[in-house]
Amino acid sequence: MILQGLRVAVSALALCASTLTLADDDAIYKERWDAFLKAPGQVSFGPLEAVSGAKGKALPRLGQPTIPAAALAEADAYAAASKSSTLIVWRKGKIEYERYYGNRNADSLLVSKSMAKPITAIAVGRAIKLGYIKSLDQSVADFVTEWRGTPKAAIKVRYLLDMRSGMLEQGFSLDPDHPLNRAYLDTDHGRHIVENYPLTSTPGTAYGYANAPSELVALVIERATKMRYAEFIGRHVLQPIGARGGKVWVNRPGGLAHSGCCMHLPAESWLRLGLLLLNDGKVGGKALLPKGYVTEMRTGTPQNPHFGLGIWIGSPWQERRGFGAPGRPGPQVLHSEPYLDPDLFLFDGNSNQVLYLSPKHDLAILRMGDTPPARPEWDNAKLANLIMRALP
């Protein structure tokens, strides 16, 4: 069972981080653990820290869509039947279709689950562009100095993003003290990852999808920039791309952010993050990411050709693709046919939350929401191909 999108129940915390005692920590952890066992994925995040953003204009809307109405109606029906919160179709500079379902609207903060992982890659790219990090091949131990002189010093920054850190891959354990659970639920989860999360293979040699490596990106960013993760994302990612802010889950008030999941942003902000990559890391002609960085993000590894730096790659086609390593057991996402744009890439999080990005058609399609019904089975190729097939 993959934990990338599991939400955790937390009491309303009014205490300052400095006043939390060991007894407080134990009580909070027990509450989170109990809630996790009862309904993983069905309860609320907390505490949350504000992430600033831009206050500019919304993206342009196209009055008369160029995409045939029948295709948009079919896409809408599919999204509605799949328990979606929103569906947005953007093409060539303008939003052609936008709908919110239930009580959601353009101001609603939508929980990312593992769609937050591409943000970690964008954050690292911005930190490299701004000079805080030397390169993707810099040792994580330059920031997580506790690892100097240990086998974990071989973990490069890129390995936190492409899931080749060598750290324990995601799984499930009923032991509350298992590293998987402490690394996710603990009020000091970053310390547990640094001190206790096991290395199971030589860094760079194996693909192992997990939350822990992505969670470490927040620690790397904070130590490299001397800013809180929320501040860095707001000031150096969201504001430059004109995206509104939101909130991020932190392990305790004033504690470390969860960067591997759980960013809360309005739908249009998620769309803008994708458009940054669709435009090769530029906004208004200004490069926000290093030259060639988006190409690196969109390039798979020998261990998994479908996963780059935080993002998924549409080709080569595979009818069923899991989040884990190719050939490993675990949930498999249906792709009924190849993507009609072989260069398509996507954000992909738990509950089939997706942002499809098609360079060929200058097209972006966002679907966020709850887990679709088990039947009919969600098809990860349907929305994207439905729209691309209908393009004039």
Give tens-digit pLDDT for 111-165: 888 999 999 999 999 999 999 999 999 999 999 999 999 999 999 999 999 999 9
What is the number of residues in the chain?
392
Distance CA 338, CA 385 (A): 9
How do beta strands 332-334 and 320-322 pair?
antiparallel
Distance CA 140, CA 223 (A): 11
Phi and psi at residue 121, to the nearest 5° = -70, -40
Any residues with CB less than 8 A from the CB of 183 and at least 6 apart, and which?
189, 192, 193, 196, 197, 211, 212, 215
Query: What's the chain's average pLDDT?
Result: 92
Say what the alpha-carbon torsion angle 30, 198, 141, 191 is, to the nearest 10 degrees. 10
Q: pLDDT at position 9, please?
A: 34
Q: Tokens in use for 355?
A: 């942002």
Instruction: Count other C-beta atoms under 10 Å from residue 315's C-beta.
Output: 15
Whole-prediction pTM value? 0.93
Q: pLDDT at position 4, please?
A: 37
Q: pLDDT at position 44, please?
A: 59
Question: Residue 284: which region, alpha, beta or left (left: phi > 0; alpha: psi -120 to 50)?
Answer: left
Instruction: Count other C-beta atoms under 10 Å from residue 332's C-beta.
Output: 13
Question: Residue 76: which region, alpha, beta or left (left: phi > 0; alpha: psi -120 to 50)?
Answer: alpha
Q: pLDDT at position 150, please?
A: 98
- Which residue has tokens 């620690």? 219
The residues with which 357 forms a beta bridge, in sequence order, are 345, 364
Cα dist. 323→120, 171, 209 in Å?
A: 17, 11, 6
Intervals of the chain under pLDDT 50: 1-19
Distance CA 254, CA 264 (A): 17
Beta strands in the chain (DSSP E): 48-51, 84-91, 94-100, 110-111, 246-249, 263-265, 282-283, 286-287, 312-313, 320-322, 332-334, 345-349, 353-358, 363-369
For each of the domains in the chain, give its residue range(s) and CATH number, in order of start.
Answer: 17-390 (3.40.710.10)
Q: Cβ-count burial of 204 within 10 angstroms (0-12 exposed, 13-18 middle, 19+ buried)?
A: middle
Give the pLDDT confidence of 71-124 residue by residue, as tens digits: 999 999 999 999 999 999 999 999 999 999 999 999 999 988 899 999 999 999
Q: pLDDT at position 190, please?
A: 97
Q: Tokens in use for 187?
A: 């009020």
The residues with which 366 forms a beta bridge, in sequence order, are 88, 355
Number of Cα atoms under 13 Å in the Cβ half of residue 82: 25
CA angle in degrees (0–180, nearest 5) for 253-157-126 = 70
